[in-house]
Chain A
Amino acid sequence: GESVGLHLPTLSVQEGDNSIINCAYSNSASDYFIWYKQESGKGPQFIIDIRSNMDKRQGQRVTVLLNKTVKHLSLQIAATQPGDSAVYFCAEIISGGYNKLIFGAGTRLAVHP
């Protein structure tokens, strides 16, 4: 079926630590994945994306890893800051002639000083 889910609903980390947010997807035909960050009262904000022909992609303080064998996606945030506190969603692009994003339920990241 079409579903994208997350392993952990809440993740608490200390400021300065690295954070890892995980996501499982079920559609093996999906070939594009995006991580979004959503702060309270705001719409989802694009963080980083990755194509299925890649295993890893790095941005500024963020890295996305893709394991197609087990259909697993992760977002790593280095040196987590209080401003990183938000809900993080992975989204899967379903083919069909247009970009239909399939979101998971989200993981809340809480950064403690």
Chain B
Amino acid sequence: DAGVTQSPTHLIKTRGQHVTLRCSPISGHKSVSWYQQVLGQGPQFIFQYYEKEERGRGNFPDRFSARQFPNYSSELNVNALLLGDSALYLCASSQEQGRFRSETQYFGPGTRLLVL
């Protein structure tokens, strides 16, 4: 079975542009979470979606938005890019929403975004 897939793998943008990152969860997984990982740091939680609804949001500005589709895939959108948005963007999927804390999140390889 395929794991979590993300596209593109790498992306270069300039300040002020917008970007859309895509994620396909593991087959059968209904929940998708997005994390930002700046070089040398641990991942930081951005969003969690379950059944197409936003269930949680981290401390990120409104320039960051996301959505989940009926097939449970997800997009992360970032508008008005800043240099500080350069990071590895990780998508993780789990079977359920996570009411039970043992719902393991499985990560994709990430999309590396560079903002110039």
Task: State the A residues within 8 Å of B (CB).
Answer: 4, 31-32, 34, 36, 41-46, 49, 51, 89, 91, 93, 95-106
**When chains A and B are docked, how far (Å) is the Cα of A34 from the Cα of B97?**
17
Task: Name the contact of B43 in the complex, choosing from A46, A49, A95, A101 (C-beta under 8 A).
Answer: A101
When the two chains form their complex, are residues B107 and A99 in contact, meaning their CB atoms are under 8 A apart? no
Which of B50-58, B67-75, B78-86 contacts its partner? Answer: B50-58
Task: Name the contact of A43 in the complex, choosing from B41, B99, B108 (C-beta under 8 A).
Answer: B108
When the two chains form their complex, are residues B101 and A99 in contact, meaning their CB atoms are under 8 A apart? yes
When the two chains form their complex, are residues A97 and B104 in contact, meaning their CB atoms are under 8 A apart? no
When the two chains form their complex, are residues B55 and A45 in contact, meaning their CB atoms are under 8 A apart? no
Across the A-B interface, the 4 shortest Cβ-Cβ residue pairs: A103-B42, A99-B98, A43-B107, A32-B101
**When chains A and B are docked, how far (Å) is the Cα of A93 from the Cα of B41?**
18
When the two chains form their complex, are residues B48 and A98 in contact, meaning their CB atoms are under 8 A apart? yes
**When chains A and B are docked, how far (Å) is the Cα of A60 from the Cα of B64?**
39
Contacts of A44 in B (CB 8 A): 43, 90, 107
Tell me which of B31, B45, B110 has the highest count of chain A C-beta atoms within 10 A of its own C-beta: B45
Tell me which of A100, A103, A104 has the highest count of chain B C-beta atoms within 10 A of its own C-beta: A100
Contacts of A31 in B (CB 8 A): 101
When the two chains form their complex, are residues B48 and A100 in contact, meaning their CB atoms are under 8 A apart? yes
Contacts of A36 in B (CB 8 A): 107
When the two chains form their complex, are residues A99 and B103 in contact, meaning their CB atoms are under 8 A apart? yes
When the two chains form their complex, are residues A43 and B110 in contact, meaning their CB atoms are under 8 A apart? yes
How distant is A40 from chain B, measured CB to nearest CB, in Å? 11
If A98-B97, A98-B98 touch, does A43 touch B45 (CB 8 Å cutoff)? no
CB-nearest residue of chain A to B42:
A103
When the two chains form their complex, are residues A100 and B42 in contact, meaning their CB atoms are under 8 A apart? no
Tell me which of A42, A49, A98 has the highest count of chain B C-beta atoms within 10 A of its own C-beta: A98
Task: Name the contact of A97 in the complex, choosing from B42, B55, B92 (C-beta under 8 A).
Answer: B55
Decide yes or no whether B105 CB sits under 8 A from chain A.
yes
If A43-B4, A43-B90 touch, does A99 touch B105 (CB 8 Å cutoff)? yes
